[in-house]
Amino acid sequence: MNTSQLKTFAPKARNIIRDGVSRQLKYWGFDEKGNVECRPEKVEGGIVHREEIIDDPSVMKRWETLNHAVKH
Give the model's pLDDT for residue 65. 96
Give the model's pLDDT for residue 5. 85
Q: Per-domain residue ranges for the chain? A: 4-71
Q: What are the helix and strand counts (H, E) for the chain?
A: 2, 3
Give the model's pLDDT for residue 3. 84
In tens digits, the chain (72 residues) has pLDDT values of 778 888 889 999 999 999 999 999 999 999 999 999 999 999 888 899 999 999 998 999 999 999 999 998
Strand ranges inside the chain, DSSP E: 41-43, 46-49, 52-54
